[in-house]
């Protein structure tokens, strides 16, 4: 009840929820109370959550914040959300996001921008919450839910978490099932939680993660009780500091924050080592080939026949064209065009295949670090704090937001962003910890030292 009231008051200003589901929330909360009264109940009994609009929710509009999925009501539930409900969680509604999860500022949503609950000191200027999981991050930061689901293809959990002072973890590729989650770039997409604390994110990830026969890329490994990692000593853990993440033009506050993070981990008994990830500088351009390529293929299904919107046309081709022209926003169209181009005959080898080779080299950089005994890597999450809507108009500059996060997706590794301090103007900044495959526990363990 309190959360629904808070949403009613604050959401008109923040636009974090695109759909609130009060009846469903009350019904689920009642069922939860009944289970608790009987002494039954799961680990998330009664916990109110917001769900990114990318997750299919049975009987509740799921549109990936695109016009092309207009009023689409799935008849199935995504595995991730089904896992949460099975543990007793309660759905408050669907959260705003960049259209099809393409963006870093939540400005590409068909349902409008999300306002970051944080403001610069002494200023009333609205700021972006980051993207694509901007609604998830803003809703958590403004306490319009206790936690939220999110997805991360190239930073979309970690960058908005950093911009809003929340904790966001992208687990290892294959840890959460992608079944029932609207696909953007299938070889990169991973679900994960955004929450207030490292402990909350550990509890939520445990529920979201599972092996799922419906997603052949989900990995058959038991899900650990991540919460056990909280409070475990970090003494003797080897933390790598990659020199390539010191980029030109980065504000001093980010560098200072990074130094402070190093000191905190050192004081807690971790060992700090410098390391090199030489292919880092190619990660961003390679990502912006691989992700659009996969997106152009995944988005081919939105043809006006199977889902959502249908525009009229003089024949079927004309109908497809009119539907896509009206249904997709500019950023989505840009990605489909880039993706189609890099996959086309004659260009495939030069772009897509090259990018895949770069991806292997990026993964190898990390493999070398792990082989040298490094347990985790510490970097800033973003090169700067939250910016104002409309401030970044050039797509390439916008893509620079992802410079520290995309390597992790390209290598399929787990990464967590933990709030670590404030910028000169009083905005939240995050530090990122990158871990070995399926060693999310190490990230929770270290993340708690930083938060």
**H or E segment to which residue 273 belongs:** strand 271-275
Task: Name the one range near ligand GLN by CB under 6 A: 86-94, 153-161, 210-218, 251-259.
Answer: 153-161
52 counts as catalytic: yes
Binding flags for ligand GLN, 6-35, as an x/- string (CB under 6 A): ------------------------------
Q: Which residue out of 52, 94, 170, 206 is catalytically annotated?
A: 52
Cα separation, 67 vs 70, whole angstroms = 5
Cα separation, 185 vs 293, whole angstroms = 8
Angle in degrees, CA 319, 324, 330, rounded to 5: 155
- What Å distances lie between residue 216 and 174, 203, 409, CA to CA? 9, 25, 18
Does position 402 bind ligand GLN by CB under 6 A? yes
**How do beta strands 376-380 and 238-242 pair?**
parallel
CB of 173 to ligand GLN, least distance (A): 13
Q: Which is nearer to ligand GLN, 310 or 335 (CB)?
A: 335
CB of 54 to ligand GLN, least distance (A): 9
| SS3 state at 48 | strand
Query: What radius of gyration, in Å, describes the C-alpha atoms of the chain?
Result: 21
Q: Which is nearer to ligand GLN, 191 or 203 (CB)?
A: 191
Q: Which is nearer to ligand GLN, 47 or 406 (CB)?
A: 406
Q: What is the number of the residue whose Cβ is closest to ligand GLN?
A: 156
Cα separation, 247 vs 401, whole angstroms = 12
Does position 415 bind ligand GLN by CB under 6 A? no
104 counts as catalytic: no
Of 285-314, which residues contact ligand GLN (CB under 6 A)? Answer: 291
292 contact partners, CB below 8 Å, separation of at least 6: 185, 334, 335, 336, 338, 339, 342
| SS3 state at 58 | coil
370 contact partners, CB below 8 Å, separation of at least 6: 436
Does position 154 bind ligand GLN by CB under 6 A? yes
132 counts as catalytic: yes
3-state secondary structure 240-260: EEEHHHCCCCCCHHHHHHHHH
Dihedral, CA of residue 258, residue 260, residue 262 and residue 265, to nearest 10: -130
Q: Which residue out of 109, 136, 156, 201 is catalytically annotated?
A: 156
**Roughly what angle, to the nearest 10 degrees, separates helices 198-208 and 79-86?**
110
Cα separation, 188 vs 372, whole angstroms = 26
CB of 132 to ligand GLN, least distance (A): 4
Q: Which residue out of 32, 78, 109, 132 is catalytically annotated?
A: 132
Of 96-115, which residues contact ligand GLN (CB under 6 A)? Answer: 101-104
Of 174-193, which residues contact ligand GLN (CB under 6 A)? Answer: 184
Cα separation, 379 vs 261, whole angstroms = 9
CB of 440 to ligand GLN, least distance (A): 18
| Residue 362: both structure tokens together | 């990026």
CB of 108 to ligand GLN, least distance (A): 8
Task: Name the one range near ligand GLN by CB under 6 A: 149-157, 190-198, 274-282, 347-355.
Answer: 149-157
CB of 87 to ligand GLN, least distance (A): 25
CB of 341 to ligand GLN, least distance (A): 16
Q: Which is nearer to ligand GLN, 139 or 332 (CB)?
A: 332
Does position 155 bind ligand GLN by CB under 6 A? yes
What are the catalytic residues?
52, 132, 156
- Interface residues toward ligand GLN, by CB under 6 A: 101-104, 132, 152-156, 184, 291, 402
């Amino acid at each position: 009840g309190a959360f629904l009231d808070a949403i009613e008051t604050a959401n008109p200003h923040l636009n974090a929820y695109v759909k609130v589901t009060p009846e469903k929330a009350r019904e689920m909360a009642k069922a939860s109370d009944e289970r608790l009264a009987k002494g039954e109940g799961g680990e998330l009994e009664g916990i109110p959550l917001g769900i990114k609009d990318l997750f299919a929710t049975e009987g509740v509009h799921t549109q990936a914040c695109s016009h092309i999925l207009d009023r689409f009501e799935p008849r199935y539930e995504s595995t991730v959300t089904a896992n949460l409900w099975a543990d007793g969680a309660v759905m408050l509604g669907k959260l705003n996001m960049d259209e099809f999860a393409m963006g870093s500022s939540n400005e590409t949503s068909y349902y409008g921008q999300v306002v970051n609950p944080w403001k610069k000191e002494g200023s009333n200027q609205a700021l972006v919450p980051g993207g694509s999981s901007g609604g998830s991050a803003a809703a958590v930061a403004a306490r319009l839910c206790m936690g939220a689901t999110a997805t991360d293809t190239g930073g979309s959990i970690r960058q908005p978490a950093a911009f809003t002072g929340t904790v966001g973890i992208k687990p290892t590729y294959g840890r959460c099932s992608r079944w029932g989650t609207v696909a953007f770039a299938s070889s990169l997409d991973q679900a994960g939680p955004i929450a207030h604390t490292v402990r909350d994110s550990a509890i939520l990830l445990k529920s979201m993660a599972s092996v799922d026969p419906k997603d052949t890329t989900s990995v058959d490994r038991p899900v650990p009780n991540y919460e056990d990692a909280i409070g475990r000593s970090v003494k003797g853990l080897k933390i790598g500091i990659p020199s390539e993440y010191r980029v030109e033009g980065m504000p001093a506050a980010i560098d200072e924050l990074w130094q402070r993070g190093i000191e905190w981990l050192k004081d807690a008994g971790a060992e700090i080592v410098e390391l090199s990830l030489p292919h880092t500088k190619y990660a961003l351009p390679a990502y912006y080939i691989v992700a659009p390529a996969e997106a152009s293929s995944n988005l081919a299904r939105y043809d006006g026949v199977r889902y959502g919107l249908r525009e009229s046309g003089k024949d079927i081709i004309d109908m497809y064209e009119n539907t896509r022209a009206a249904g997709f926003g500019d950023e989505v169209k840009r990605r489909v065009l880039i993706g189609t181009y890099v996959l086309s005959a004659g260009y495939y080898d030069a772009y897509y295949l090259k990018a895949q080779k770069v991806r292997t080299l990026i993964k190898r950089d990390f493999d070398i670090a792990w082989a040298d005994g490094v347990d985790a890597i510490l970097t800033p999450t973003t090169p700067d704090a939250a910016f104002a809507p409309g401030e970044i108009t050039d797509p390439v500059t916008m893509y620079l937001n992802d410079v520290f996060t995309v390597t992790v997706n390209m290598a399929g590794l787990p990464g967590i962003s933990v709030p670590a301090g404030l910028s000169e103007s009083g905005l939240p900044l995050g530090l990122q910890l990158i871990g070995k495959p399926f060693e999310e526990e190490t990230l929770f363990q270290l993340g708690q030292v930083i938060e």
